[in-house]
């Protein structure tokens, strides 16, 4: 059905006119126009799927129930499905050639917070969906299902060399460390066939992630002998040492590191705990740290600054102590790689042309998403929202409104059409 656009896409390079020609061919397709109308008319079905999947808890490392639900839903829509060794749900259309190059449309299954009971995810008086994960990434998963229903129903993208691979992947949030996407891009049997990625993450269509924000995460545990707050006063105290390390990093070491680099950065001490009672010297204290930067060299400098702050804090605490010593263990719990699309990438032309056609005002940004992994490997990848509006991500007040979802879905269909028709190796 979309064969004619292949000739136009054959000529695509960074110039806009050939992309525009391919896009016009795509828009002229009766199947695409019918799919647009269908996706608008089936808003209630999409909303219902969205609500159902979000009521299934899927905290990172515990995505299995939601994965099984997604596999069943995709199978019911006519796709051949499987759950791979990492826990990712994979779906291809029946008859997809075993050697065909693939374009992956992905959305992560896991959420930072999870509903305790199904009623924690509900429709409020403003007709917004509220509850953990409804925007991040309920919106992306609902978009994946909407595309999964439209593609076989209207025989979209038939006759092209590349085939569509749908992926609902695990391990995007927090300490999941992008494990689902790492598996898909490396040891997965499909890895060598995937030529490009379109990642659906959240609802927002006004930002396109074409540069992957690098991050490094650590857990630091400081240990000591412990004791009684009165009779053992002066014993080396892990909480005191850890508190000093945080202060040294924030006030001294981090500013030094930043002065030697460039680009945006952030650091966050997100979890801190230790001790047992108010009148006991703690035997241990723990903190979890998140470091991020657009500049890989600056990220390395921040990691080194953290190590220096910890070493200095231990030294000071032990020098002041009248008994015992504190020691520390610093463990890297996650590392998200940096990467970026080159300015000449056809993917950038595709999204600019589609957004211009649909009247979407979008900007390119740098963020941490599943696209980090393919971008770090030199594979073409973009991450964007699936449409609608949302807010309060990663909080109990998270919300999603489906207003504008149809526009986001049209954009996904058009981007996929251009990506699937692009010739050549990845």
368 Cβ neighbours under 8 A, 6+ residues apart: 212, 213, 214, 215, 292, 336
Per the domain annotation, does 374 fall within a domain?
yes
Give the end of a domain, one of 270, 305, 336: 336
Q: Do residues 181 and 248 share a domain?
A: no
Please state, in angstroms and as integers, the Cα–Cα distance from residue 160 to each residue in 12, 14, 65, 194, following that order: 16, 22, 34, 15
Q: Do residues 170 and 42 share a domain?
A: yes
Q: Do residues 349 and 290 share a domain?
A: no
Confirm if 399 and 129 have CB atoms less than 8 A apart.
yes
Tell me which residue range forms the domain holding 285: 219-336
Q: Residue 69 is part of a domain; what is its CATH number? A: 3.40.630.10
Query: CA 414 to CA 357: how far, in whole Å?
Result: 10
Q: Do residues 233 and 193 share a domain?
A: no
Q: Do residues 42 and 172 share a domain?
A: yes
| Residue 417, both tokens | 């059409």
Give pLDDT, residue 17.
Answer: 53
Give the end of a domain, one of 336, 363, 391: 336
Which conformational region is residue 59 in: left (phi greater than 0), alpha (psi within -120 to 50 degrees), or beta? beta
Q: Do residues 154 and 295 share a domain?
A: no
Per the domain annotation, does 196 fall within a domain?
yes
Give pLDDT, residue 7.
Answer: 38
Q: Do residues 405 and 357 share a domain?
A: yes
Per the domain annotation, does 19 fall within a domain?
yes
Per the domain annotation, does 426 fall within a domain?
no
Please report, in tens digits, the pLDDT of each residue of the chain (426 residues total): 333 333 333 333 333 458 988 899 999 988 999 999 999 999 999 999 999 999 999 999 999 999 999 999 999 999 999 999 999 999 999 999 999 999 999 999 999 999 999 999 999 999 999 999 999 999 999 999 999 999 999 999 988 889 999 999 999 998 999 999 999 999 999 999 999 999 999 999 999 999 999 999 999 999 999 999 999 999 999 999 999 999 999 999 999 999 877 789 999 999 999 999 999 999 999 999 999 999 999 999 999 999 999 999 999 999 999 999 999 999 999 999 999 999 999 999 999 999 999 999 999 999 999 999 999 999 999 999 999 999 999 999 999 999 999 999 999 999 999 999 987 544
Per the domain annotation, does 270 fall within a domain?
yes
Give the end of a domain, one of 313, 336, 359: 336
Domains identified in the chain, total number: 2
Q: Residue 223 is part of a domain; what is its CATH number? A: 3.30.70.360
Q: Do residues 115 and 194 share a domain?
A: yes
Per the domain annotation, does 20 fall within a domain?
yes
Q: Do residues 14 and 159 share a domain?
A: yes
95 Cβ neighbours under 8 A, 6+ residues apart: none
Per the domain annotation, does 55 fall within a domain?
yes
Per the domain annotation, does 155 fall within a domain?
yes
Q: Do residues 205 and 230 share a domain?
A: no
Q: Do residues 307 and 384 share a domain?
A: no
Q: Do residues 356 and 260 share a domain?
A: no
């Amino acid at each position: 059905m979309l064969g004619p656009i292949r000739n136009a896409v054959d000529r695509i390079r960074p110039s806009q006119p050939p992309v525009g020609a391919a896009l016009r061919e795509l828009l002229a397709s009766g199947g695409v126009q019918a799919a647009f109308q269908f996706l608008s008319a089936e808003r209630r079905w999409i909303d219902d799927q969205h609500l159902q999947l979000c009521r299934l808890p899927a905290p990172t490392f515990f995505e299995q129930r939601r994965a099984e639900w997604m596999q069943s839903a995709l199978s019911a829509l006519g796709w051949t499905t499987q759950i791979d060794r990492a826990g990712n749900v994979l779906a291809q259309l029946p008859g997809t050639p075993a050697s065909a190059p693939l374009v992956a449309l992905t959305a992560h299954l896991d959420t930072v917070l999870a509903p305790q009971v199904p009623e924690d995810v509900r429709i409020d008086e403003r007709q917004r969906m509220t509850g953990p994960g409804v925007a991040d990434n309920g919106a992306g998963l609902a978009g994946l299902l909407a595309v999964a229903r439209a593609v076989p129903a209207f025989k979209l993208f038939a006759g092209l060399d590349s085939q569509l691979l749908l992926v609902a992947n695990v391990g995007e949030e927090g300490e999941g460390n992008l494990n689902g996407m790492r598996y898909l891009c490396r040891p997965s049997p499909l890895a060598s066939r995937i030529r490009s990625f379109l990642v659906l993450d959240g609802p927002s269509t006004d930002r396109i992630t074409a540069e992957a924000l690098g991050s490094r995460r650590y857990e630091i545990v400081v240990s000591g002998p412990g004791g009684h707050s009165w009779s053992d006063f002066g014993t080396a105290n892990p909480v005191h040492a850890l508190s000093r390390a945080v202060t040294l990093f924030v006030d001294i070491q981090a500013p030094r590191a930043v002065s030697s680099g460039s680009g945006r950065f952030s650091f966050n001490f997100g979890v801190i705990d230790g001790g047992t009672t108010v009148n006991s010297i703690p035997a241990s204290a723990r903190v979890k740290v998140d470091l991020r930067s657009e500049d890989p060299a600056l990220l390395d400098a921040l990691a080194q600054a953290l190590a220096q702050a910890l070493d200095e804090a231990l030294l000071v605490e032990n020098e002041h102590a009248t008994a015992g010593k504190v020691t520390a263990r610093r463990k890297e719990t996650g590392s998200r790689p940096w990467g970026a699309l080159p300015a000449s990438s056809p993917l950038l032309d595709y999204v600019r042309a589609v957004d211009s056609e649909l009247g979407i005002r979008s900007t390119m940004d740098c963020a941490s998403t599943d696209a980090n992994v393919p971008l770090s490997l030199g594979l073409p990848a973009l991450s964007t929202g699936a449409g609608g509006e949302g807010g309060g991500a990663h909080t109990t007040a998270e919300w999603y409104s489906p207003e504008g979802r149809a526009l986001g879905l049209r954009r996904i269909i058009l981007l996929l059409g251009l990506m699937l028709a692009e010739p050549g190796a990845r």
